Structure 1
Amino acid sequence: MLVIMTENQVFPPQQVCQTCLMADQSGQPRWYQGKLRCGRALSKLAEDLPDQYECQMGFRIANIDG
Protein backbone atom coordinates (compact mmCIF):
# COMPACT_ATOMS: atom_id res chain seq x y z
CA MET A 1 0.00 0.00 0.00
CA LEU A 2 1.33 3.43 -0.91
CA VAL A 3 1.08 6.33 1.54
CA ILE A 4 2.16 9.95 1.37
CA MET A 5 4.15 11.14 4.37
CA THR A 6 4.84 14.60 5.76
CA GLU A 7 6.82 15.36 8.90
CA ASN A 8 3.92 14.47 11.19
CA GLN A 9 1.09 13.01 9.06
CA VAL A 10 0.33 10.14 6.71
CA PHE A 11 -2.15 10.53 3.85
CA PRO A 12 -3.63 8.14 1.32
CA PRO A 13 -2.48 9.03 -2.23
CA GLN A 14 -6.07 9.79 -3.28
CA GLN A 15 -5.98 12.96 -1.15
CA VAL A 16 -2.85 14.31 -2.81
CA CYS A 17 -2.37 12.75 -6.23
CA GLN A 18 -5.77 13.49 -7.79
CA THR A 19 -4.69 17.07 -8.53
CA CYS A 20 -1.18 16.12 -9.69
CA LEU A 21 -0.40 16.37 -13.40
CA MET A 22 1.97 13.39 -13.07
CA ALA A 23 -0.75 11.04 -11.69
CA ASP A 24 -2.34 8.36 -13.83
CA GLN A 25 -5.86 8.70 -15.29
CA SER A 26 -7.47 7.50 -12.06
CA GLY A 27 -5.61 10.08 -9.93
CA GLN A 28 -3.17 7.56 -8.43
CA PRO A 29 0.64 7.65 -8.37
CA ARG A 30 2.23 6.00 -11.39
CA TRP A 31 3.20 2.77 -9.63
CA TYR A 32 4.38 0.00 -11.96
CA GLN A 33 6.12 -3.29 -11.14
CA GLY A 34 7.13 -2.15 -7.67
CA LYS A 35 8.55 1.23 -8.74
CA LEU A 36 7.22 4.77 -8.63
CA ARG A 37 7.35 6.10 -12.20
CA CYS A 38 6.50 9.69 -11.21
CA GLY A 39 9.36 10.01 -8.71
CA ARG A 40 12.72 8.69 -7.60
CA ALA A 41 13.77 6.10 -5.05
CA LEU A 42 15.40 7.36 -1.87
CA SER A 43 18.24 5.58 -0.10
CA LYS A 44 17.17 3.30 2.72
CA LEU A 45 18.18 4.52 6.16
CA ALA A 46 17.61 1.11 7.76
CA GLU A 47 16.60 -2.39 6.66
CA ASP A 48 13.41 -2.37 8.73
CA LEU A 49 12.05 0.81 7.09
CA PRO A 50 9.73 0.64 4.04
CA ASP A 51 10.90 1.63 0.56
CA GLN A 52 10.57 5.39 0.17
CA TYR A 53 10.35 7.63 -2.87
CA GLU A 54 10.18 11.34 -3.60
CA CYS A 55 7.57 12.28 -6.17
CA GLN A 56 7.99 15.01 -8.79
CA MET A 57 5.89 17.34 -6.62
CA GLY A 58 8.23 16.88 -3.63
CA PHE A 59 6.11 14.58 -1.46
CA ARG A 60 7.63 11.53 0.22
CA ILE A 61 5.85 8.29 -0.64
CA ALA A 62 6.35 5.03 1.22
CA ASN A 63 5.42 1.52 0.12
CA ILE A 64 4.02 -0.14 3.24
CA ASP A 65 3.27 -3.85 2.95
CA GLY A 66 0.50 -4.94 5.29
Structure 2
Amino acid sequence: MDDSFRQGGEQPRGWYQKRRDKIAAEIARNRRGEHTVPTWVLAATLGLFVAAWVALVVFS
Protein backbone atom coordinates (compact mmCIF):
# COMPACT_ATOMS: atom_id res chain seq x y z
CA MET A 1 0.00 0.00 0.00
CA ASP A 2 1.20 3.48 -0.79
CA ASP A 3 2.48 5.63 2.11
CA SER A 4 0.44 8.64 1.01
CA PHE A 5 -2.74 6.59 1.39
CA ARG A 6 -1.90 5.63 4.99
CA GLN A 7 -1.01 9.20 5.90
CA GLY A 8 -4.24 10.68 4.51
CA GLY A 9 -2.89 11.57 1.09
CA GLU A 10 -4.76 12.41 -2.10
CA GLN A 11 -6.53 9.09 -2.65
CA PRO A 12 -9.29 9.40 -0.01
CA ARG A 13 -9.77 13.08 -0.87
CA GLY A 14 -10.13 12.11 -4.54
CA TRP A 15 -12.85 9.59 -3.71
CA TYR A 16 -14.67 12.13 -1.58
CA GLN A 17 -14.47 14.79 -4.30
CA LYS A 18 -15.73 12.36 -6.96
CA ARG A 19 -18.65 11.37 -4.76
CA ARG A 20 -19.46 15.01 -4.01
CA ASP A 21 -19.32 15.92 -7.72
CA LYS A 22 -21.58 12.99 -8.58
CA ILE A 23 -24.18 14.07 -6.01
CA ALA A 24 -24.01 17.69 -7.18
CA ALA A 25 -24.52 16.57 -10.79
CA GLU A 26 -27.52 14.46 -9.79
CA ILE A 27 -29.09 17.38 -7.93
CA ALA A 28 -28.54 19.62 -10.97
CA ARG A 29 -30.19 17.02 -13.27
CA ASN A 30 -33.15 16.73 -10.92
CA ARG A 31 -33.60 20.50 -10.85
CA ARG A 32 -33.63 20.57 -14.66
CA GLY A 33 -36.36 17.91 -14.66
CA GLU A 34 -34.19 15.07 -15.90
CA HIS A 35 -34.80 12.90 -12.84
CA THR A 36 -35.57 9.22 -13.31
CA VAL A 37 -37.07 6.59 -11.07
CA PRO A 38 -34.40 4.37 -9.49
CA THR A 39 -34.33 0.79 -10.75
CA TRP A 40 -34.96 -0.66 -7.28
CA VAL A 41 -38.22 1.33 -7.03
CA LEU A 42 -39.39 -0.06 -10.37
CA ALA A 43 -38.46 -3.60 -9.30
CA ALA A 44 -40.25 -3.25 -5.96
CA THR A 45 -43.39 -1.92 -7.68
CA LEU A 46 -43.38 -4.78 -10.16
CA GLY A 47 -42.93 -7.24 -7.28
CA LEU A 48 -45.93 -5.77 -5.47
CA PHE A 49 -48.11 -6.03 -8.58
CA VAL A 50 -47.08 -9.63 -9.17
CA ALA A 51 -47.65 -10.55 -5.51
CA ALA A 52 -51.10 -8.91 -5.55
CA TRP A 53 -52.02 -10.71 -8.78
CA VAL A 54 -50.86 -14.06 -7.36
CA ALA A 55 -52.84 -13.43 -4.16
CA LEU A 56 -55.97 -12.67 -6.21
CA VAL A 57 -55.56 -15.81 -8.31
CA VAL A 58 -54.74 -18.13 -5.40
CA PHE A 59 -57.27 -16.83 -2.87
CA SER A 60 -60.19 -16.30 -5.26
TM-score range, shorter chain: under 0.3
Of structures 1 and 2, the one scoring higher in RCO (CA 8 A, sep 6+) is 1
Greater percentage in strand: 1
* Higher radius of gyration, 1 or 2: 2
**TM norm structure 1:** 0.17
Greater percentage in helix: 2
**TM norm structure 2:** 0.18
